[in-house]
Structure 1
Amino acid sequence: MCSVPSTVLEHIPIPPVTLYTQPSILDRDRMSTEGTAAVSRAAVQDFLDKMEFVNFKRHRDGELRRRVAEITDTWDFKETARPHINTALVITESAYGHLTDLDAKVAITIFTALATSVDDPNALDGLAFDQFHRRHSDCTVHGDKSPLGLFAKVTSQMAACYPSFAAGAILVAALQFVNASILENATRGTMLHPKALGFVEYRRFLSGIPEVYVCFIWEKTRFPAVNCYIQAIPDACIFIDYLNDILSFYKEELTNELVNYIHDRALVAGTSTSDALRDVIGETVAAAERVRSILGEGEERDAWDAFVRGYIKFHMDDPRYRLREVLGDDFFVEE
C-alpha cells in the first residue's frame, strides 16, 4: 500500500469501502444520477483509502498570487482567462507548495493558466493551431501576445527553473499538447478500432501532458541532477493521467461526456465501464507505489509524496469535479 505522508493541519479519516462493481449499473440505457453517484462514491473512496489520503487545509501563497497578477494583468485576454488563472493558482498552491523556488511556482502557474486557456473548447476555434509548430520553429510565435504565443514563451523559459533534460521534456510535451488538440479535432467522430488500445493510451498521454507536471515536482535549485528521479518519470506520468480520470469520472458521467479515457478503454478492451474504472484505480495506486520504491528514502521521495497529496487535494477542492456531491460536506476542510 502506498504510504502518503499523513502530517496535515486538519484531517478526516476515510473508512475503507468495497468498490461497487456491478456492471449493469453503468448501462447507458438505465443510467441514473443515483447510480452514477453510487459508483463514483465507491470508486473515489476506494481510491482515497488505498492512497491513505486525508484532507488538509491548503496554504494560500500571497507572494505567488502577487507575482502572477503582475504578469496576467498585462494579458489582453485576462478576463476570459481568469477562471484558468484561478485554477492554476490552486494547482500550484496544492501540488507544488513544497517548492522553495518562487520563480518555479510562478512559471508553473503561468504555464497552467495558458495551457487550460488554450484547451478551452470555447477558445479553440479562434486559435491558429495549424500554424503553431511552424511559427514555433521560426520563433515568430514568441512575439505573439495571444494565449498560444505566451504559452510558447513560458515553455521556452523553463530552463531557468529546471535542469536541461526536464526543461527539454517540458518543451516537447507542450508541443505535443498542441498536437493533441489538433488530433482531437482530426479524429472527432472516428470509430475506435477494437484493437486500438495503444492509440487510446497514446492519445491520453499526449492530451494530459503528464510529463510536464512530473518534471515540475523537482526544481533545479534543490534537484539539479535528473538522475535522482528520471527512472520514476514513466510511472509518475501514469499516476497523473489516471488520477485525473478517476476523479473526473463523476462529473463527466453526469454531463454525458463519454469521449474520455475510461469509456474508450472499456470499449476497446470489451469490458464494462465500472471494470475499466476499477482496473485504472488499481494501476494508479500501483504506479504511485513504484515511484516511491524507485525514489527511495530522501528528499526526492518527500517531494513526490507532497505532490501526490496536493494533487489529490486540488481535485477535491476544485468545484468542476463536483466531488462534494460524492463525498459529502463532512469530508471537506474549510479554507
Structure 2
Amino acid sequence: MATSQFSTCIQRLFSEIGFRHEPFPSYDANYWGPFHRWMLDTLGPTSSWGPKKLAELEHAAGGVIERSYPYASTELKLLFAKLTAIAILIDDSIEDEAVYDHLVQFSAKLYRGEAQQNGMLALYHTNMRELSDMYGEDSVLRGLATVPWINYIDACLMEKQIFTAECQRSKIVDPRQMRRCENEDGLALKFPHYLRSKSGIAEAYAAGIFKANKNQYLPLTKFIKVLPDLTFYIEVINDVLSFYKEELAGETYNLIHLRTRSISSSRVHSKGVDGEWTPYDTLQLLCDEIREATYRIDGLLRLDECERKMRGEAVESDIDDVDVEIAMQWRGWRDGYISWHLECRRYKLGFLECAVTSGMQRQE
C-alpha cells in the first residue's frame, strides 16, 4: 500500500469524525517525574531491558495516558501508565521461556490468592489492586477497569498459540489442506476482531474515561450504552494507526491482514480493477466502521449539544453539568488518543501529523 493511499484514507476519517489535534501539553513534572523514577528503579530491574528500550517504553506508555486523559488526576494517570508499561513489556517478553512459564501460572495464582513469583507480574498485580481501590464502592466500573488487565495475560498466551499455528500453516504445501484453511477463514469472519478484542484492554481504558479522579462519580446509566462502540473505537483506532509501521516491518499477523484473509476467503470482491479484496479495502472498511461508531458515541453522549452549552449557546433544557463532564472527558480521549498515535515515535506517523496539522491551519 502506498503511503499516499494510507494518508488520504486516514485524513478523510479524521475529517469525517471532526478530529482536533490539540497542542502538545507542557511538561508536567508531577506526572513525568514519579513515572520516570518508577520506570528506572521499580520496573526496570524486573526486566532484561536496557536504558534505551526502557526510555522508549516510558515515552509510549506515559505519552498515551497523558494525551488520552487530559481531565484525569495525576494519581489515576500514573496507575494507568504503569499498567500500560507492564502490559507492553509482557507482550514483548512472551518469547522468553522463563517469563512464559510464569505467565501461564498468572491467572491460577491470582485466583488462588498465591503470590506471583515473577517480579514483573507481582508488580502488575500490585498496580491492579491499587487501580481497584481507586474505584471505591463502584463495583461495576471497578470490574470494567481491572478485569481486562487479568484477561490480557491469557489473551497474550492465546495469541502465542495461534501465531505458532499460523507459522506452521504458512509452510503447508498440500493444496487440499490449504483449501480447508481458506474455508475456515471464510466462515470465521468475526474471529479477527474477537482475537483483537481479547488483548485490547479496551474496557479498562474506557472505564478510565468516566472516572477522572477518586472522588468523581458519574452515573453508569449515562454512559453504559456507548461501551460496545467505545471499546471498538479504542481497539480499532490503534490497529488502523499501527498499520503503517507494521507494513514497513512486513508484519501480517494483525487485524487488517487477518480480516482481509477472512473476507477474501468468503468470496467478497473489491470494486478495484482485478476484484481482489486487499488490505487497503479492509483499511477503508475499518475507517467506515470507526466513523459510524464515533457518530453513535457522540450522539449517545450528546457531545454536540454539550459543546454548544459550553459556548453559551441555547441547548435542550435537560443537558446538565454531569452530561457536560461526561461528554468532555470523552472528547478529551477521542482526540488525545489519536494525537498520541501521530506523535509517538513508535508509529512513524510524522508525515501524517504534518499533513493533519497543516490542513487544520489552512482551515483556520
| TM-score after normalising by structure 1 | 0.81
1:278-304 Cα shifts (integer Å, max 9, x gaps):
110011111111112122242101110
Report the Cα distance in structure 2 between the residues aligned to 1:98 and 1:139, rounded to whole angstroms: 35
Query: Which runs of 5 or more structure 2 residues have no equivalent in the other structure?
Result: 170-180, 265-276, 307-323
Residue equivalent to 2:42: 74
Shift of 1:329: 7.2
Residue equivalent to 1:280: 286
Q: Which amino acid aligns with 1:74?
A: T
Report the Cα distance in structure 2 between the residues aligned to 1:70 and 1:251, rounded to whole angstroms: 29
Q: Percent identity?
A: 24
> Could you say what secondary structure the match of 1:248 adopts?
helix
Q: Is residue 50 from structure 1 mapped to residue 16 from structure 2 by the alignment? A: yes
Q: Is residue 214 from structure 1 mapped to residue 206 from structure 2 by the alignment? A: yes
- Flag the 1:281–1:104 CA change in 2: closer, same or farther, 3 A: same
Report the Cα distance in structure 1 between the residues aligned to 2:225 and 2:61, rounded to whole angstroms: 27
Residue equivalent to 1:173: 148
1:172-224 Cα shifts (integer Å, max 9, x gaps):
21122111111111112335622112221211101111111111111152234
> Could you say what secondary structure the match of 2:19 adopts?
coil
- Flag the 1:322–1:70 CA change in 2: closer, same or farther, 3 A: closer
Report the Cα distance in structure 1 between the residues aligned to 2:98 and 2:351, rounded to whole angstroms: 34
Residue equivalent to 2:227: 233
Residue equivalent to 1:182: 157
Shift of 1:55: 2.5
> Could you say what secondary structure the match of 1:45 adopts?
helix
Report the Cα distance in structure 2 between the residues aligned to 1:268 and 1:121, rounded to whole angstroms: 29
Report the Cα distance in structure 1 between the residues aligned to 2:80 and 2:244, rounded to whole angstroms: 27
Q: Which amino acid aligns with 1:249?
A: F
Residue equivalent to 2:134: 161
Shift of 1:256: 0.7
Report the Cα distance in structure 1 between the residues aligned to 2:75 and 2:290, rounded to whole angstroms: 30
Shift of 1:269: 1.1
| TM-score after normalising by structure 2 | 0.75
Query: Which runs of 5 or more structure 1 residues have no equivalent in the other structure?
Result: 1-25, 27-34
Task: Give the alignment partner of residue 109 of structure 1, picking from 78, 81, 90.
Answer: 81
Contact 1:141–1:149 (CA under 8 A) maintained in structure 2? yes
Residue equivalent to 2:111: 137
Query: Which range is displaced more, 235-244 or 293-302?
Result: 293-302
Contact 1:40–1:326 (CA under 8 A) maintained in structure 2? no
Residue equivalent to 1:63: 30
How many pairs are equivalent?
Answer: 297
Give the aligned CA root-mean-square deviation in angstroms. 2.3
1:246-278 Cα shifts (integer Å, max 9, x gaps):
111111111111110011111111132111111
Task: Give the alignment partner of residue 246 of structure 2, picking from 248, 252, 255.
Answer: 252
Shift of 1:122: 6.9
Shift of 1:53: 2.2
Contact 1:85–1:110 (CA under 8 A) maintained in structure 2? no
Query: Which range is displaced more, 182-191 or 221-230?
Result: 221-230
Shift of 1:123: 6.1
> Could you say what secondary structure the match of 2:190 adopts?
helix
Contact 1:95–1:306 (CA under 8 A) maintained in structure 2? yes
Report the Cα distance in structure 1 between the residues aligned to 2:222 and 2:87, rounded to whole angstroms: 28
Query: Which range is displaced more, 202-211 or 117-126?
Result: 117-126
Q: Is residue 84 from structure 1 mapped to residue 57 from structure 2 by the alignment? A: yes
Residue equivalent to 2:315: none
Determine which structure has the larger helix proportion and give its number.
Answer: 2
> Could you say what secondary structure the match of 2:282 adopts?
helix
Q: Which amino acid aligns with 1:77?
A: T
Greater Cα radius of gyration, structure 1 or 2: 2
